[in-house]
Amino acid sequence: MHLGKMTLISMAALLAACSNGTDASTTKLDSTVVEAITDVASKVEVRGADLSGLPSGTYKSEQGHAYVAFQYWHQQYSRPIIRWGTTDATVVFDTENPENSTLTVTLPTKDIDTGVAAWDKHIKAADFFDVENYPEVTFVSTDIVQIKDGYGTLTGNLTIKDVTKPFTLTGTVNKVGKHFRSGVDMFGISATGTLSRSEFGVDTYAPSADEIEITVEVEFQKAE
């Protein structure tokens, strides 16, 4: 959404520069012009795929195209990306009232994949996810806003190490269609969210790397 607004403002600046016969790279817009452009940008609607053609029913994540990953700053030197090797997600979709749809997600902690064997072992130990005592991370939706436009927010209860707190994802429905081979109804989503790991009992070395960015890329197929 922010990208679309910034693009609109940049285009308006370019047009204003060209109309005045000046170099767009050195043009400074009058404050009233900036305010007018910003006002227009704030009214731009962001939409994803049209959900009206997606039949009601239960949709399961397709494991070959289901990615839940998280990223953090490692002492400000780099931003490692860690993903789950398994994502078990279910959407119960309501065509007539999309905002009444639900999402449940289960992520087995044993399937966390850092790409580094030693880090895999440490992150699954008691210092972090404590896989032996807490085998799953779960998410259950409680509120969906504006999803009828294919773009919106989804809030639910996220549970990590038996600590449950509200968590919000902002996402887009990328495409609604049918699988090219099986003909099964399907859709795909992209979503992001941010949390503080220390609030969920994963607090080793905190406040360093406490803010975690979540990225979700999942394709769902209608269950038979």
Query: How confident is the model over 172-187, as pLDDT tens digits?
Result: 999 999 999 999 999 9
| Residue 48 resides in a domain | no
Instruction: Give the three-state DSSP class for 201.
Output: coil
17 neighbors 24 (Cβ within 8 angstroms): yes
CATH of the domain at 139: 2.40.128.110
Strand locations in the chain, DSSP E? Answer: 57-71, 81-84, 88-93, 102-108, 112-113, 136-145, 151-160, 163-178, 185-196, 211-222
Nearest to 5 by CA among 31, 32, 33, 39: 39
Distance CA 118, CA 37 (A): 52
Q: Do 76 and 165 fall within a single domain?
A: yes
Rounded to two decimals, the pTM is 0.79
Q: Do 134 and 210 fall within a single domain?
A: yes
| Residue 50 resides in a domain | no
Helix segments in the chain, DSSP class H: 2-19, 31-42, 117-123
DSSP 111: G
- What's the total number of domains in the chain? 2
On the question of pLDDT at 141 being above 80, the answer is yes
**What pLDDT does 148 receive?**
75
| Residue 49 resides in a domain | no
Beta-sheet pairing, 88-93 with 81-84: unpaired
Q: Do 8 and 76 fall within a single domain?
A: no
Cα dihedral sign, 202-206-207-209: negative
Residue 9's pLDDT band, with cuts at 50, 70 and 90, is very low
Cα dihedral sign, 195-201-202-204: positive
Cα Rg of the chain (Å, integer): 21
Q: Do 133 and 173 fall within a single domain?
A: yes
Q: Do 38 and 68 fall within a single domain?
A: no
**What pLDDT does 4 receive?**
46
Which residues 6+ apart lie within 8 Å of 161 measured at CB? 129, 130, 133, 134, 200, 201, 202
Mean pLDDT across 86-102: 95
| Residue 51 resides in a domain | no
| Residue 52 resides in a domain | no
Q: Do 37 and 105 fall within a single domain?
A: no
Tokens at 127, concatenated: 């210092």
| Residue 164 resides in a domain | yes
Q: Do 103 and 164 fall within a single domain?
A: yes
Domain that holds residue 31: 2-42
**What pLDDT does 179 receive?**
94
Q: Do 15 and 115 fall within a single domain?
A: no
Distance CA 51, CA 37 (A): 31
| Residue 140 resides in a domain | yes
Q: Do 28 and 62 fall within a single domain?
A: no
